[in-house]
Every structure is written in structure tokens, then in C-alpha cells.
Amino acid sequence: MGYVEDLRGLVGHRPVILCGSCGVLVAPDGRILLQQRNEPAARWGLIGGLMELGESSEQVLIREAQEECGLVLEAQALRLLGVYSGDHLSVAPNGDQFYAVSVAYVVAGVVAKPRVADGESLRLAWFEPTALPANMVPRYAQVVADYLERR
């Protein structure tokens, strides 16, 4: 069992603060890799996930990229984009409540071909920055907008 599952065993569905990382993975031609997840509601988002005990925020993204889409990222390729927090209370389909602190990174020049490598993902796709899907998770849409503004 992972950290979040252990924590939920102690606090139930009560609100908690969870930390995680996500990445704006960018191909050499400027397209951005997005993942369509099973939950919530088959929306699109960035590669990423929640921190396990003892992990750095960089290690979270490196692990999640491997688990979710079979990509091997190098720590030196991660460039900090920003830290996102405190914007709203989220409620998971099972009733778990949480506020997320997300550390966002940019990983430029991704040339490896991603593949669905876990049970969380419906599909992975590269998108032109001007043609992103409308049904994105709001936090991830903000991260991508910040990336596009700052690039």
C-alpha cells in the first residue's frame, strides 16, 4: 500500500493536503504530451502524480512518466515552471477530499514514443499548443497556459 492509501486509512475522507508533481513534456516540434485518464470523467491532463514518502518532487515526475507512459526522464532535463496550490478543494470519485500542492516542470525535447503503461490512462496524445482539448483538468490547463506564456 502507498502513502496516500495508508493516510486515508487513518483519516478517512476528511480533507488533507497532498503533494505531487506534473510535467509539461514538449516534443522538439513544440507539441505537448497529454494523458486522458479514466478518472475524473476522462479529462485530459499532464503526466504526473502524488508524492510517496521520501521522494523529491523531481523523483515523482520521473517515476510517474515511467509508470504512466514508459518514458525515461533524466533529472537534469526537468526545468521548474511553478508551484500551484490552495486554489480549491477537490473531491475524488470515492469521496476523498484534498487540496493539492503541485510542482510543475517543463521537459523540453522529448523524442521517445510514449505508450499507455498503466491502468489509469485511456490514451496519450501529442497536441499543438493552439489546439488543446477543451476537457482538460483545470489545474493542468493553468499549468500549460503558464508554460505557453513564459516560453
Assess contact for 132 and 51: CB atoms under 8 A.
Answer: no
> Could you tell me the pTM of the whole model?
0.92
pLDDT digits (tens, 9 = 90+) for 100-123: 999 999 999 999 999 998 888 899
Could you tell me which residue, 149 or 89, shows the higher pLDDT? 149
Q: How far apart are CA 8 and CA 126, in angstroms?
A: 34
**Is the per-residue pLDDT at 84 higher than 70?**
yes
Please report the pLDDT score of residue 3 as a whole number: 86
Q: In sequence order, which residues have a C-beta less than 8 Å from that of residue 133 and are 6 or more positions away?
A: 34, 44, 127
pLDDT digits (tens, 9 = 90+) for 23-47: 999 999 999 999 998 876 789 999 9
Burial class (CB in 10 A: 0-12, 13-18, 19+), 9: exposed
